[in-house]
Structure 1
Amino acid sequence: MSQQMFGLQGQTALVTGAGRGMGVGIARTLGRLGARVAVNDLFTERAADTVNTLRAEGIDAFPAAADITDYDQVAAMVARVNAATAGIDILVSNAGVPAEGMGYKKFLASTPADWQRFVNLNMFGLMNICHATVPGMQERGYGRVVAITSESWRAGLPMGIAAYAASKAGAVGFIRHLAAETGRSGITVNALSLGTMNNWDSDALAKKTCFVPRAGSPEDVGAGVAYFASPEAAWVTGQVLPLNGGALTA
């Protein structure tokens, strides 16, 4: 019998920021498709809670807490995951909101410290985890890297998220260049660009702005990641897939 499409049996996935929200949905989807899932979060307790939830659903998951803005912590975490598995096949860089929250603030009222926390997480965090993980993928000749970004990089909004949007735009530029550097090693690198999600009181906004009149869910994000992570997406790299219910179409 042939393997099911999008099956991830025998693979190991590392999902950052998987202690809550969209990250839980990503970890759950990859686990249901057969992957063993390393659950990263800044907070050990949140990672453990997600692992317990997934294990109760029959998913093979284990905690991998670390601060992805700290390169030494990232390198140590990746070493632990590699030691416990045959190596990381799928990396999903999902962590995107600092521990202090978004802190909506118009740019001219913000400070360099406000900007730095977004750049540290969404740029350097992504670069840290890729730098520590991709060499192992190159050695094995296979890998899938999926970055979670935001439609805020494509559309200007008066919400006070300029630094966040800039950091997400930087992530898009980075994944395209990493894709160019790694494609001949059997590695694909792509991004999902999220629109209005249901991790805040967003249904009213989504009904006004989305062709599909609802906010996006963790399940929607998990499905998008599953495609990019799959063997079937072997000829897709350096791409950004908008996941926005039709709110932006250009």
Structure 2
Amino acid sequence: MSQKLFELEGLVALVTGAGQGMGLGVARALATQGARVVVNDYYSERAEQAVTQLRAEGFTVCAAPGDITLPDVRESIVAIAEREFGPVSVLVNNAGVPPGMPESLRQFRDLDDTDFERQLDLNLRAIVGLSRRVLDGMIENGFGRIIIISSESWRTGLSFGLTNYAAAKAAALGFMRHLAHEVGRQGVTANAVSLGTMNNFGDYAEYAKATAVGRTGTPQDVGAAVAYLASREASWMSGQVLPLNGGSVTA
């Protein structure tokens, strides 16, 4: 019998910001394909609730909550993953919305340096720090997948206050492209999924009209894309940004 496509048996996946929404959808998709999944979330109760839910569905998961913008927390999260399941083979950098966003969106002229640092801490420095922590193990095992959940705001200008968020997302994509070239011949790929308007922040009916498929994105959409990028079959896919936007941007 031939092997099913995109099976992740034997792999350990760490998903940040996975206590709800898109991150939980990614965690569920990876677990469905056979990975053992470590659920990180800024809020410990949210991570634990997600783990309880996923375990009830029959999946092998554990919680590793904490603020990934802090270096010691990043170290702790990876240590939990290694203790529970083994070396991380799939890192999904999903966390990207600091507490208080999107309510705190403001125009560039109303932002200060702290507003930019906050986004850079989460959407660039945390990604770099976690990647550094897991990369040696991936190279040693000859297999690794580093995946960034990004946003189409890096590609398309908008007027409602995303300058700091989009700048940090764009910086992470530059990091990803160069990392892909540095580690590709050791069996490690680096890619990003760039999301259009998702259904996690309320009613986006007007935005749905602008997509080719007539709806906003779901956790299942994101999970399916990440499951592919995490798979062994995706070994020739590296250094790429995969647009997942329902056809709202087609260039």
Identify whether the pair has TM-score above 0.5, normalized to the shorter chain: yes
Structure 1: where are the runs of 5+ without partners?
none
Which aligned segments of 4 or more residues in structure 1 are displaced greater than 4 angstroms? none
What residue number does 1:234 align with? Answer: 235
| TM-superposed deviation, 1:205 | 2.4
**Residue 108 (structure 1) aligns with:** 109
Check conservation: 1:196, 1:216, Cα contact below 8 A.
Answer: yes
Deviation at 1:83, TM superposition (A): 2.1
**Counterpart Cα distance in 2 of 1:232 and 1:205:** 37
Encode CA deviations 1:131-180: one digit per residue, 9 max, x unaligned: 11111101111111110000000011001110000000011101001111
Structure 2 CA distance for aligned equivalents of residues 167 and 248 of structure 1: 20
Deviations 1:178-202, CA, capped at 9 Å, x for gaps: 1111101100100000000000224
User: In structure 2, how many angstroms separate the alpha carbons of the residues matched to 1:9 and 1:165?
Assistant: 35
Alpha-carbon offset, residue 206 of structure 1: 2.7
Matched, 1:58 2:50: no
Tell me, in whole angstroms, the C-alpha distance in 1 between the residues paired with 2:64 and 2:5: 28
- Corresponding position of 1:191: 192
Measure the CA separation in 1 of the matches of 2:2 and 2:38.
Answer: 27
Q: CA RMSD in A?
A: 1.0
Kept in 2, the 8 Å contact 1:202–1:215? The answer is no
Distance, in Å, in 1 between the alignment partners of 2:75 and 2:56 is 29
Q: How many residues align?
A: 250
The amino acid of 2:50's aligned partner reads T
Moved more, 72-81 or 209-218: 72-81
Q: 1:87 is matched by which residue type in structure 2?
A: P
What are the residue-to-residue correspondences of 1:121-132 with 2, within 5 Å?
A: 121-132=122-133
TM-superposed deviation, 1:27: 0.2
Unaligned 5+ segments in structure 2 are: none
TM-score of the two chains, using structure 1 as the length reference: 0.97
1:39 paired residue number: 39
Aligned to 1:69: 69
Q: Percent identity?
A: 50
Normalising by structure 2, we get a TM-score of: 0.97
**1: CA distance between counterparts of 2:149 and 2:181?**
18
